Structure 1
């Protein structure tokens, strides 16, 4: 039986797992859609759900973060986690790991680094305080370790089945499909005023980039994700008031919900969809 993914097979910040039910209900209104283009693919979860809900559609997953490389080394990640698990099993869940055990964990990471890549983002979910992430050995070594239940059985079998994977600038991909009929664009760009260190530099994502994305929504069918922190709804209202021909988000439906970063922090997640002419 084919596995149904309701979450990313590997830890990924901002994967939209809390919106899957609402996103799926929007896709049920898209019987005429023949192509789905996930411009900011992230973990690929939205692309996976789109392909499952619209099996006859062509689904393009723009894997800008090269998430596929993390998936390709799942067996290696599971093996490393299986060696780490016995070291921390005596530590109470969610409690600080003593420094001597931390050093043993770091030795294992270094050993694996000597023979290939290490998925430090996945390890972060098991060994760092909730919401904290590290992308290198050096970053990991500086942090306090916590026992957050080491997972040794990550499984992504079939996750990319039927998806067309790209690794390109979202503007080039949009230009390729913007004039085609029956196309649905999924847009989940980095949020303004939030963490963007997964991208090439601190200047990669600025207000002008966000405005470029908003401009893409005009005349297209889309599902667009943003955050209450970005104040993008207020920005669109201001633009529409002062520039009546802008008509940003006109005719779209909007959903809001609180999504958790960790046990102490949450933020307002927003999904905006327009799937009819």
Structure 2
């Protein structure tokens, strides 16, 4: 039986590394002796998924700090909710604002489902909010303008997390657990500097960012960031002035991204085998 390979997260997720999947797969070929991959900031699990499909022999640990697997487990319930929303909005053109009474009907629908179980507001956001916006609870939905952006086909997540060891831990604890494991490679994709850090309370500060580098100083690693962060520039300066850098002798790959005609940024993947 064929195993499905995903090139992107099957559910909406902020910050997933879908643009790097091809380069990441190619780079994994340079780690033939690796036996364990530990995804310290697992996010949507895309990196862990790619590793397990590329290296089915390896032990892959996915740190699901955001409880993404819970969203996967409830995908059929989410599909049912979106199907009902699609019916409510039948006849309204795509990307048009949802006016009353349909707006309140959608909110009432979500409240009813919330009383009976889990509601994946992040996924549902992509069907009722304008592109790029998302909510994590009903209160945030109520504050925003709704639009008809409903997905026209059901979400499918079959086998996405198969073969992974799913854990939930502070990345420091997970690093300590595996740092002495022979053949270990750490996947490091921390929140962007000075941004909200999900379940890590508050903002991801410079001190938090620098703490992460203890995980890659003496181990094979993949590290993901962007030119929005000044961390790489900081370590280039450190290295030039004789203080050393965790990226010394590492390989760097870059992908340019365009947001608008005058807004661009560069995603960066750095790895050392």
3-state SS in 2 of match to 1:36: strand
Contact 2:82 2:150 in 1 (8 A): no
Which residue in the other structure is 1:119 paired with? 120
CA contact (8 A) 1:61 1:163 kept: yes
Q: Does 1:238 align with 2:237?
A: yes
1:54 and 2:55 matched? yes
Alignment of structure 1 residues 72-221 onto 2, 5 Å = 72-196=73-197, 198-203=198-203, 205-221=204-220
The farther-off stretch of 13-22 and 257-266 is: 257-266
CA contact (8 A) 1:127 1:150 kept: no
Q: Distance in 1 between matches of 2:72 and 2:263?
A: 28
Name the CA distance, whole Å, in 2 between partners of 1:92 and 1:264: 30
State the 1:262 CA deviation: 8.4
- C-alpha RMSD over aligned residues: 1.8
Return the alpha-carbon distance in structure 2 between the equivalents of residues 75 and 255 of structure 1: 37
CA gap of 1:64–1:158, structure 2 versus 1, over 3 A, is same
Q: Point out where structure 1 has 5 or more consecutive residues left out of the alignment.
A: none
Q: Distance in 1 between matches of 2:258 and 2:62?
A: 25
Give the conservation status (yes or no) of the 8 Å contact 2:51–2:60.
yes
Pair 1:128–1:251, CA change in 2 (3 A)? same
Q: 1:112 to 1:264 in 2, by over 3 A?
A: farther
Partner residue, 1:252: 250
For residues 264 and 126 of structure 1, do their structure 2 counterparts lie closer, same or farther at Cα, with a shift above 3 Å needed? farther
The offset of 1:96, in angstroms, is 1.7
Q: How far apart, in 2, do the equivalents of 1:169 and 1:83 lie?
A: 38
Separation in structure 1 between the aligned mates of residue 202 and residue 245 of structure 2, nearest angstrom: 30
Please tell me whether the aligned partners of residues 177 and 183 of structure 1 are also in contact (alpha carbons under 8 angstroms).
yes
Distance (whole Å) between structure 2 residues aligned to residue 256 and residue 94 of structure 1: 33
The DSSP-based 3-state class of the residue aligned with 1:90 is coil
Q: Deviations over 1:18-73 (max 9, x none)?
A: 11001100112211110000000001010000000011000000001111111111
**1:246–1:216 distance in 2 versus 1, CA, 3 Å:** farther
TM (normalized to structure 1)? 0.92
Aligned to 1:272: 270
Equivalent-residue separation in structure 1 for 2:264 and 2:82 (angstroms)? 28
Paired with 2:13 and 2:264, the residues of 1 have a C-alpha distance of 16
Alpha carbons of 1:265 and 1:100: their partners in 2 closer, same or farther (altered >3 Å)?
Answer: farther
Following the alignment from structure 1 to structure 2, what is the Cα–Cα distance between the partners of residues 46 and 263? 29
Q: Is the 8 A contact 1:94 1:148 kept in 2?
A: yes
